[in-house]
Amino acid sequence: MSYLSSILLCMLLIITTLDFLSRNKESQQVVKKDRISLIEQERPTLAPAAPLATKDCNTAEKSIKTRKVFHFLKDAGYGLGNMQTPQFWDDVDEQRGKLIIDIGAFDGSDWSVPAVIKRGHTVLAFEPLSAERFMEHARSNGITPVIVDRLQEWPVDGQGRIFLFKSCASNFTGTVQMYSENELASIVPQDFYAGANQKISHEIPVLRLDSVVKDQDIHLLKIDTQGNELSVLQGAHRLFAENRINMVELEFWPKAMVKGGASGVDVLDYLHGFGFICFDYSRNRHIPYNRPSDFEGFVASFDPNRDNGFGAWEELICFNQNLG
């Protein structure tokens, strides 16, 4: 009997112990839930993240990726030599009947005349000092430029025509003096060839591009102003802001730009700020082929002492990414 009692007593102790453990576990779970609830109450409520705007995201991504100057036509074998623009119209751009602006047109043989003959473009050419030479070359190719000096609705119908401004382009409207030496000219005093033959021309009219084009799109803006490039771009600020410019081609000569009050990086950053991505495309070998691509490194690769102090330069073509 005592044996049976012992067994029953052990069983009772086991049951009591199991019940205690079970109650203690439930109690711990309740405490844990209470603690979690308290933590959740103390945690600040966060507003759901706003969805990313796809367009802004893509623009930001492009902006991060493209603050650099890429190789392009050089790798493709185009642009063999300096200013080989007939090949540009043959191999790079096949659009027809667009509005083109040629700043620093000289005699028109590089850009204006080929743009009309090969693609039927309408060209606004700016050439103050070599205007007569420009007219002569155009006429020899069967084109009669119309001399203009103000805003109008430019006919763009694929027929091919040239409107000639005997003016400079910059970031203001008025008059200015120009410095010229041999075939080079600028409103920036450059002393191109040590100033030996430099001439100064006074009272040259100056226009902003904003003031000569209103609601029309510009397929290509070409700039060759011997150091005044940033001012020309600034004078087209509204056109850039309205996404009216598709491509920019410019002679990139950092040493001359510094004399004009800007750096090469300033010019690249201005274009980059409006969504442009730039490529070098001539093969003049003025800068190392393996030059850095970032803006600062790219500009630093231009030797200012090259060619007896003339300084290294390159041709750039820049595309507006906002227009695809």
Q: Is the pLDDT confidence value at 88 over 80?
A: no
Would you state the pLDDT for residue 294? 93
Pick the closest to residue 275 from 232, 318, 224 (CA basis): 318
Q: What percent of the chain has pLDDT over 70?
A: 69
Would you state the pLDDT for residue 23? 53
Whole-number Å distance between alpha carbons of 61 and 47:
25
Hey, what are 170's tokens? 């910059």
Hey, what are 73's tokens? 């036509």
User: Would you kindly state where each structural domain of the chain is located, as residue ranges?
Assistant: 54-323
The CATH number of 54-323, from 3.40.190.10, 3.40.50.720, 3.40.50.300, 3.40.50.150, is: 3.40.50.150
Give the CA count within 13 Å in the CB-facing half-sphere of 87: 13
Placement of tokens 């009272």 in the chain: 203
Query: 280 has which bridge partners?
Result: 71, 316
- Residues 159-215 have pLDDT tens digits of 999 999 999 999 999 999 888 877 778 888 766 555 556 778 888 999 999 999 999
Distant-in-sequence, close-in-space partners of 206: CB < 8 Å, separation ≥ 6: 167, 168, 169, 170, 172, 173, 174, 175, 176, 187
Placement of tokens 């200012």 in the chain: 304
Please provide the average confidence, as pLDDT, over all residues in the chain.
78
Amino acid type, 48: P
Decide: 247 and 318 in contact? Cβ < 8 Å: yes
pTM reported for the whole predicted model: 0.76
